[in-house]
Amino acid sequence: MRSLLSCLVLLTSFVSAAPSARTSSFEVKEKVFPPRDWKIHSDASPDHKIELKIGLPQPNFDILEKHLYEVSDPSHYRYGQHLSKEEVEAIVAPHPESLELVTEWLASHGIGEQDITRSSAQDWMTITVPVRVAEKMLDTTYHVWKHTTSGESIVRTTSYSLPIHLHDHIDVIQPTTTFARLKSFKSTIHRFDKETGQIVAQSDTPMISASGVSVDPSCNTTVTVTCLKQLYNATDITPSATINNSFGITGYLDQFANFQDLQSFYAVQVPDAVNSSFTVISVAGGQNNQTLSEAGDEADLDIEFGFGITFPINGTFFTTAGSPPFIPDLDTPTDTNEPYISWLDFILAQEEIPLVITTSYGDDEQTVPESFAKRACAGFAQLGIGDGGVGDGDPDPATQTCITNDGTNKTEFLPLFPASCPYVTAVGGTIHVPEVAVDFSGGGFSNYFSRPAYQDAAVSAFFENFPNGTFAGLFNPNGRAIPDVAAQADNFQVVIGGETGLIGGTSAASPTFAGFVALINDARLKAGLPSLGFLNPLFYSTAISGFNDITSGNAPGCGTEGFNATVGWDPVTGLGTPDVGKLISLVTAI
């Protein structure tokens, strides 16, 4: 059973292509300005193959959204009444006319049913074609674009067109105008020799967390699983391995999760977990190489703390193929710069998925065309849950440019995607005890998504005390506000490639927070209740008192001091950090 939605809608039937194709003149479907930091390198080879994903409209998405909020609202009688994958797919299925017309259009370009991969809900069609065919289909010209800083290269266009009669039947086609550079949100990595990597307390006096729990003084400089459980009032929680609870972690960009490193980590931090493991699921041919030299810092951080917090809950690591750079002067068969969407396609097709999934990857919202961002966000609505660390553009303040890609070159705070999607739970970062906002904990307000109703009270209260005119023009005050919550994000002690060291970033905060959500699910399942599903409506209402309010610190950027942490919700630490014991009491009473 998946953590999804609840309603009954008749499944839309698939309609095959008509024997003859309708024709109409081309009209521009989408156009973007040449993106900052990307320059045309060369013409794209006409034989270079592109995997095009065609998103068909979901005419009943408003119904899906309505039911999502109903089953996620603890004050609603349908709270927790999650339904099956098939019932959700019935809601998002496209209209039969859209299926017919798009299939007919593809057939007119020699693309038959055997060449099309359809999503379970029929709302996505995937084809692989040479550039010369894509250019004809979309009345466009592809180029190889090169990123001036990283050297990454991709095959893209800044505009594409469709026959007029198809405009209402196709939401988006990508890769065309997407210039996102999928990246993890690590901001600091500090390594030291494994023989000297000892945890040293600055004093012998225990600290008291905001939850009123005693915390070892060493946690101020070195964060361990024990530190996090002390800090967030979870030391007395013993999860079960036998109640069908589950926890998932995503991996991209050849970030391999190393089994040996995990065992070394367990030996020091979670002795009871030694010799336990996790399931690896390959997406689109993703690998998980076990050579120590290939151990991924992001992947190891995620599995060590994510699975360390949740042991013995069933854990899954999704390794998704695809990694830049694409080399434009080689005969590369396909361009694999968009692994994130490959994972979303895969997970939406599964009958069973983890009850909590954490991801620490994304990019500036503006590098993802709005049409594509909204369709990807709709995918998260189908899942009913998501967790993503949020930063403020480039985590290094020295390289933040904060310049828009809309042709105006304005200075602006740049929100991140998918954290800006209102159907995921975005996680900011803190540091030390007592906790303060860590300086790389970004946040702000989406330019694509309006503020969801569940945020109205908390965000309106923030603006009541926000000085008028502050950062005027640098952010959209009516946008979806991020982050939602926060957790520790720096000085995490990890084992990577056989060596012990410290690592940080909102990449650390996301698996940490998600791990504690899995513990809360454990308590609900033991009580005979369904899993939490989509978290945000609960967090902003009934469970709001289950967070430790962070009121100090700020996240500078774009030549400013950035937003400050303050009383109540703020765009640095959200509602605050979890008091797991209190949250369990709250959510097992509804």
pLDDT by position in tens, the chain (length 590): 344 333 333 333 333 333 345 778 999 999 998 888 899 999 999 999 999 999 999 999 999 999 999 999 999 999 999 878 999 999 999 999 999 999 999 999 999 999 999 999 999 999 999 999 999 999 999 999 998 888 888 899 999 999 999 999 999 999 999 888 777 766 555 444 343 444 444 456 778 877 788 899 999 999 999 999 999 999 999 999 999 999 999 998 889 999 999 999 999 999 999 999 999 999 989 999 999 999 999 999 999 999 999 999 999 999 998 765 555 555 555 555 566 778 888 999 998 999 999 998 887 888 888 998 999 999 999 986 333 222 233 444 434 457 777 777 777 788 888 899 999 999 999 999 999 999 888 789 999 999 999 999 999 999 999 998 889 888 999 999 999 999 999 999 999 999 999 999 888 999 999 999 999 999 999 999 999 999 999 999 999 999 999 999 998 888 888 999 999 999 999 999 999 999 999 999 99
**Exposure string over 467-489, b if 16+ CB within 10 A, otherwise e:** eeeebeebbbeebbbbbbbbbbb
Residue numbering of the annotated binding site for Ca(2+): 549-550, 568, 570
Same domain, 275 and 414: yes
Query: End of a domain among 178, 209, 224?
Result: 178
Same domain, 135 and 266: no
- Global pTM? 0.90
Radius of gyration for the alpha carbons in the chain, expressed in angstroms and rounded? 24
**pLDDT at res. 144:** 92
Query: DSSP letters along 188-223, please?
Result: EEEE--GGG-----S-SSPEE-TTS-EE-GGGGT-B
CATH classification at residue 429: 3.40.50.200
Residue numbering of the annotated binding site: 549-550, 568, 570
Same domain, 206 and 152: no
Give CA–CA dist 128/108, Å, rounded.
15
Same domain, 220 and 146: no
Alpha-helix residue ranges (DSSP H) falling in 42-175 = 61-72, 85-92, 96-108, 131-138
| Side-chain-side CA neighbours of residue 587 (13 Å) | 36
Cβ atoms of 563 and 555 closer than 8 Å: yes
Q: Among 89, 300, 302, 365, which one carries the catalytic annotation?
A: 302
Q: Is 507 a catalytic residue?
A: yes
Give CA–CA dist 449/422, Å, rounded.
7
Residue 524 host element (H or E): helix 506-526
Same domain, 106 and 132: yes
Q: Is the peptide bond before 578 cis (omega within 30 degrees of 0)?
A: no
Q: Among 87, 298, 522, 579, which one carries the catalytic annotation?
A: 298
Of the candidates 48, 35, 129, 78, the one whose C-alpha atom is nearest the C-alpha of residue 403 is: 35
**pLDDT at res. 335:** 54
Same domain, 43 and 173: yes
Query: End of a domain among 155, 178, 201?
Result: 178
Query: End of a domain among 148, 178, 208?
Result: 178
Q: Is 98 a catalytic residue?
A: no
- Residue 41 within a domain: yes
Domain housing 429: 184-325+339-587
Residue 306 host element (H or E): helix 297-310
> What total of structural domains would you count in the chain?
2
- Residue 109 within a domain: yes
Query: DSSP letters along 240-274, please?
Result: -SSS--EEEEEE-TT-B--HHHHHHHHHHH-GGGT
Same domain, 165 and 293: no
**pLDDT at res. 193:** 39
- Residue 68 within a domain: no
Give CA–CA dist 513/548, Å, rounded.
13
**pLDDT at res. 387:** 30
- Residue 205 within a domain: yes
**pLDDT at res. 12:** 31
Q: Is 370 a catalytic residue?
A: no
- Residue 70 within a domain: no
